[in-house]
Amino acid sequence: MTSTRPGSRRVWLTPQAHQRLLAELAALTGNAAPSALDGTAAQDDRDPSRRRQREERIREIHDLLTNAVVGEDPPDDGIAEPGMVLTVRYDDTDDTETFLLGTRAAEHGDIEVYSPDSPLGAALTGARRGEQRTYAVPDGSTIRVTLLDAVPYGHHHPAGPA
């Protein structure tokens, strides 16, 4: 892996998310086909607020791409970490949820994504199958979850239509 700036950390991206970010960056910097731009960059340059927003998004995407680990699955060891598809049970309701632990800013689209920095993602990072963890929600209550499964994104087979 390449080195990163001090204080930055690697972010896990699917190949599809990486391509979407590259396309968005090209559109924002004016390096995309004219149809992809639709005059947005020119309009943004006339509006200082929109120009700042665009420049911030360009920096955000650049940082994501600079620190990206693309398509490299983590080990299939059942331990929750970025790049893993997690299935959890919310212990108080017995509801289950399956999601990718990854970078939300990349908008994966085919599966819900929770950041490792989110309360749920932070609570689960490092958990093993069967392990129970807790996390606080904004209203101050505590939620208990059990990690039922953790598989690398590349090994995940989404459920088909019912």
The residues, any chain, with a CB within 8 Å of residue 47's CB and separated by 6 or more, are none
pLDDT at 120 over 70: yes
CA dihedral 79, 81, 87, 90 (to 10 degrees): 100
> 83-101: per-residue pLDDT in tens?
899 999 999 999 999 999 9
Residue 162 is predicted with a pLDDT of 41
> 64-75: per-residue pLDDT in tens?
898 888 878 888
* CATH number for the domain formed by residue range(s) 84-154: 3.10.50.30
**pTM for the structure as a whole:** 0.69
pLDDT at 128 over 80: yes
C-alpha to C-alpha distances, 57 to 27, 35, 63, 64, 126, nearest whole angstrom: 11, 20, 10, 10, 30
Residue 73 is predicted with a pLDDT of 80
As a whole number, mean pLDDT of residues 97-120 equals 82
Which among 161, 159, 145, 153 has a CA at the least distance from the CA of 75? 153
Residue 90 is predicted with a pLDDT of 97
The residues, any chain, with a CB within 8 Å of residue 32's CB and separated by 6 or more, are 23, 26
Question: Average pLDDT over the chain, rounded to whole?
Answer: 82
Which among 117, 112, 74, 115 has a CA at the least distance from the CA of 96? 112
Write out the residue limits of the CATH 3.10.50.30 domain(s) in the chain. 84-154
